[in-house]
Each structure stands twice: as structure tokens, then as C-alpha cells.
């Protein structure tokens, strides 16, 4: 079974630009979550999608948005990039994302550098 895939793996952008990152979950997984990882803040939850609906959102500004397609693939978009958006963006998928516990499987991440 293929794991979670993320594209691109590396990205360099300049301030003010926007970026779209893509995530393909494990086949059969319907929940996709996005995280931002930085050395200073660690792993922080961005948002979670299930069946094309955003179910939960972390404390990030509106410049960060996402969506999920009918095949469970997900994209996240960051507009008006700032230097502080430089980070590793991780996508994780799980079967249902059910309350109780949520066994997630992570992709390798997209390393975004904002110059």
C-alpha cells in the first residue's frame, strides 16, 4: 500500500507570493490533516478535512487555507507569503479521524523557503 505523498518536496518562493501544496492520502483514508513544523514552534496543527469538509482549524491567519477533493486528495494554499512561513509542511492521513484516538500516517513533507 502506498504511503502518503506530498508534492512538491521543496519549494522556494519570495515574500508576497502565494503557494499551493498537494497531499495524496493513503488509499481508503478519508481524513487529511495539515501541520506546520518549525524549529521554534514545533509541530502545529493547521486544519483537518474529512469528506471534503473542514472539521477543525488551528490558530493560523486566514492566509492559510485548504480544501479536499472527492478522491480525498487535499491541497493547502498560503497567500501573501511572509518570511515566517518558511517551514516544513506536513500532511497526515487517517481512516476516519474519529474522536477517541487518531492514528495518523504522515507524508515526507514539503519544505517551503520564503526569501
Partner 1 sequence: TQLLEQSPQFLSIQEGENLTVYCNSSSVFSSLQWYRQEPGEGPVLLVTVVTGGEVKKLKRLTFQFGDARKDSSLHITAAQPGDTGLYLCAEGGGFKTIFGAGTRLFVKA
- Between residues 4 and 76, which has the closer beta carbon with respect to partner 1? 4
- Between residues 48 and 85, which has the closer beta carbon with respect to partner 1? 48
Determine, following the binding rule CB under 8 A, whether residue 28 of this chain makes contact with partner 1.
no
| In the complex, least distance from residue 44 CB atom to partner 1, rounded to whole angstroms | 8
Determine, following the binding rule CB under 8 A, whether residue 4 of this chain makes contact with partner 1.
yes
3-class state of residue 83 by DSSP: helix
The rounded Cα 45 to chain-centroid distance in angstroms is 9
Contacts 24+ apart (CB under 8 A), 63-70: 66/34, 68/32
Determine, following the binding rule CB under 8 A, whether residue 42 of this chain makes contact with partner 1.
yes
b (16+ CB within 10 A) / e for 92-108: bbbeebeeeeeebeebe
Distance in angstroms (rounded) separating the CA atoms of residues 55 and 7: 23
| In the complex, least distance from residue 11 CB atom to partner 1, rounded to whole angstroms | 14
Among 7, 18, 55, 80, binds partner 1 (CB under 8 A): 55
Query: Stretches 12-20, 44-52, 60-68, 73-81: which one binds partner 1 (CB under 8 A)?
Result: 44-52
Amino acid at each position: 500500500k502506498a504511503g502518503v505523498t506530498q508534492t512538491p518536496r521543496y519549494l522556494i518562493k519570495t515574500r508576497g507570493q502565494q503557494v499551493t501544496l498537494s497531499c495524496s492520502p493513503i488509499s481508503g483514508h478519508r481524513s487529511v490533516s495539515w501541520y506546520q513544523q518549525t524549529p521554534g514552534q514545533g509541530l502545529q496543527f493547521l486544519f483537518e478535512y474529512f469528506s471534503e469538509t473542514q472539521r477543525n482549524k488551528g490558530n493560523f491567519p486566514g492566509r492559510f487555507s485548504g480544501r479536499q477533493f472527492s478522491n480525498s486528495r487535499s491541497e493547502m494554499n498560503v497567500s501573501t507569503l511572509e518570511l515566517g512561513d518558511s517551514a516544513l509542511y506536513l500532511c497526515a492521513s487517517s481512516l476516519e479521524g474519529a474522536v477517541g484516538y487518531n492514528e495518523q500516517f504522515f507524508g515526507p513533507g514539503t519544505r517551503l523557503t520564503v526569501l
